[in-house]
Every structure is written in structure tokens, then in C-alpha cells.
């Protein structure tokens, strides 16, 4: 397939989803790393403000129209809350109670909700292959978290609950974005969603007392990474991918994120990567492969 045949194809969509998944996956261990230096919402607030500024700079550099059309403000607010604001608040709290590996795998049960909601809302039927992909992917998530194992703990319940809530909201946002795409240039859309979605995070951060001098060089590098790739470039890739592949396929393929998050957490934070985690990763990747094939 040549460049012209690739642009606008299903293959391009799948590549963009995989790029997004890897980028978002690496965010989790770095966010957990930053929590050792900063309070949760202060950490998210600085990343959100810097990320929005980066996205606005991208939009301006591409000469996009920055001001949203008048009739798009309501949908912009909906997307900003589902895809960013509420999602960030809930996943931030999940990271406080859980390891990065557990938080990322619980949150990425989102394909369940996206695939189920895509049926009545978009008419995307649940084919046998897609159902099997969801079952394998979510089974891998459950195994990764340690449901039924000695690692399970009631202390993790608040974090797990918030992780599942974030997953449901992002799954809903995935389907709504497919059904009602914003009539805005891509970078400007991401910039506004990031800016609006950061507002509740900034409000919550007012009750915290961060010590910025305690942030190491590695911490600032993590802030720079989170502010640029996951919060801007990856979102551009994600919304582009939603135009090229079914919402349920995109949401299931992005299950690669837990794999990247778990491996990254093991390498960066020393979190456990034993037989249970490896089997869970194999189940998740099998589900991803089935979803990618359709």
C-alpha cells in the first residue's frame, strides 16, 4: 500500500490508535512517579495547563481557526468533560489508591462500554469476533488487577470504582464523538477540550500545597512528556482514528495501553511483572489482534 492508499484508510486508523495507546500507556507510570513529588491535582493541573498551551500553539502554527463556532460550544463542553475533565479527575484519584499497573488496566475496560453503547447509538453490531475480543481483553484486565487473588484488597475499592467510572465516561465520549463530531479544526478542538477540562482540576488543586522545589529533573521531564504527547498529539491521533475505524474497534485496540503501562511501570517503578501479569498481557493482546482484524 502506497502513501496515497494509506492516508484515509483503515490501516492508517489502526496505526493512529496504536500510537495513541502507546503514548497514553506510558503516561501512567510517569504520573505515578510524579505523585511521589506533587499532590495529585497540582500534578494534573500543571500538565493540563502546559498541554493546552502546547495544543493552542500547534493550532496557531497550522493557522487553524481558534474560536469555536457558536453552535459547537455545548458539544465542546460535553467532550471536554467526558474525554478530559472528569476522566482526569477520576483517574488521578484512582492512581492515589492503586499501583499504576492496576489503575491503567481497570481504566481500560472502556471497550466494554464503547462497544455496548455503539450498538444502540451507532448501529455497530457486536459481531462474534468483537465479542470474543472484548471478553479476552477484559479478562486480561481482571487478571492483571488480581481479582480473586491474594493481591485483592478492600483498600483498593475506591480506586477501582473511580477507574471503572472513568472507563465508562471515556467509552461514552468515544461513541458520542463518533455520532456528533465537532465541527472544528483538530488541534483547536483538542486545545479547547484540554483547557475546559483542566478547569475542574485547577479548582481541586486550590486545596493542595505543592512544593515545586521538590520536583526533580526527571519529574520535570515527565511533566514535559505528559504535557506534549499524551495531552495533545495523541488526542489529535485519536480523533482522527475515530473517523477511519469503528468506535468499538478503536476502543478495543487501545487496550494496548495497559500492556505499555504495565511494562513501563515494571521498568520505571519496579512494580511486579510476574506470571499472572504476563498471562494477562497475552490475553489482552489477543483481544487487540481480534479487534484489529474486525
For residue 241, being part of any structural domain is answered with: yes
With 90 as the cut, is the pLDDT of residue 11 above it?
Answer: no
Task: For residue 5, tell me if it sits in a domain.
Answer: no
DSSP string, 9-61: SHHHHHHHHHHHHHHHHHHHHHHHHHTTTS-HHHHHHHHHHHHHHHHHHHHHH
Residue numbers of the domain that contains 88: 12-293
Task: Give me the pLDDT at residue 287, please.
Answer: 77
Q: How many whole angstroms separate alpha carbon 172 and alpha carbon 118? A: 9
The span from the CA of 43 to the CA of 59, in Å, is 25
pLDDT interval class at 135 (50, 70, 90): confident
Residue 6 lies in a domain: no
The tally of domains found in the chain comes to: 1
Quick check: 254 and 21 in contact, CB under 8 A? yes
Instruction: Tell me, yes or no, whether 3 lies in a domain.
Output: no
Total residues found in the chain within this entry = 294
Q: What is the pLDDT of residues 58-67, one digit of tens each?
A: 999 989 999 9
Q: What's the pLDDT at 54?
A: 93
Statement: residue 150 has pLDDT above 70:
no
* Residue 2 within any structural domain of the chain: no
Q: Report the mean per-residue pLDDT for the chain.
A: 85
7 in any annotated domain: no
Domain assignment present for residue 1? The answer is no
- Output the pTM of the full model: 0.83
Amino acid at each position: 500500500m502506497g502513501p496515497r492508499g494509506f492516508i484515509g484508510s483503515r490501516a492508517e486508523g489502526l496505526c493512529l490508535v496504536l500510537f495513541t495507546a502507546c503514548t497514553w500507556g506510558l503516561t501512567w507510570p510517569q504520573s505515578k512517579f510524579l505523585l511521589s513529588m506533587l499532590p495529585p491535582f497540582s500534578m494534573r493541573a500543571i500538565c493540563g495547563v502546559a498541554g493546552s498551551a502546547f495544543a493552542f500553539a500547534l493550532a496557531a502554527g497550522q493557522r487553524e481557526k481558534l474560536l469555536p463556532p457558536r453552535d459547537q460550544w455545548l458539544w465542546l463542553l460535553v467532550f471536554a468533560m467526558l474525554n478530559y475533565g472528569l476522566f482526569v479527575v477520576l483517574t488521578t484519584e484512582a492512581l492515589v489508591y492503586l499501583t499504576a499497573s492496576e489503575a491503567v488496566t481497570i481504566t481500560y475496560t472502556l471497550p466494554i462500554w464503547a462497544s455496548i453503547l455503539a450498538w444502540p447509538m451507532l448501529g455497530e453490531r457486536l459481531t462474534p469476533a468483537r465479542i470474543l475480543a472484548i471478553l479476552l481483553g477484559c479478562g486480561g484486565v481482571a487478571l492483571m488487577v488480581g481479582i480473586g487473588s491474594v493481591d485483592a484488597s478492600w483498600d483498593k475499592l475506591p480506586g477501582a470504582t473511580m477507574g471503572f467510572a472513568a472507563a465508562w465516561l471515556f467509552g461514552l465520549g468515544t461513541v458520542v464523538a463518533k455520532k456528533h463530531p465537532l465541527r472544528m479544526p483538530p488541534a483547536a478542538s483538542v486545545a479547547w477540550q484540554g483547557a475546559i477540562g483542566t478547569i475542574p482540576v485547577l479548582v481541586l488543586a486550590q486545596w493542595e500545597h505543592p512544593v515545586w522545589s521538590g520536583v526533580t529533573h526527571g519529574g520535570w521531564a515527565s511533566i514535559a512528556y505528559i504535557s506534549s504527547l499524551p495531552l495533545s498529539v495523541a488526542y489529535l491521533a485519536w480523533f482522527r482514528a475515530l473517523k477511519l475505524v469503528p468506535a468499538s474497534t478503536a476502543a478495543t485496540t487501545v487496550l494496548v495501553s495497559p500492556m505499555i503501562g504495565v511494562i513501563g511501570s515494571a521498568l520505571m517503578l519496579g512494580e511486579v511483572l510476574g506470571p499472572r501479569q504476563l498471562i494477562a498481557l497475552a490475553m489482552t493482546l489477543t483481544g487487540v489482534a481480534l479487534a484489529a482484524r474486525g
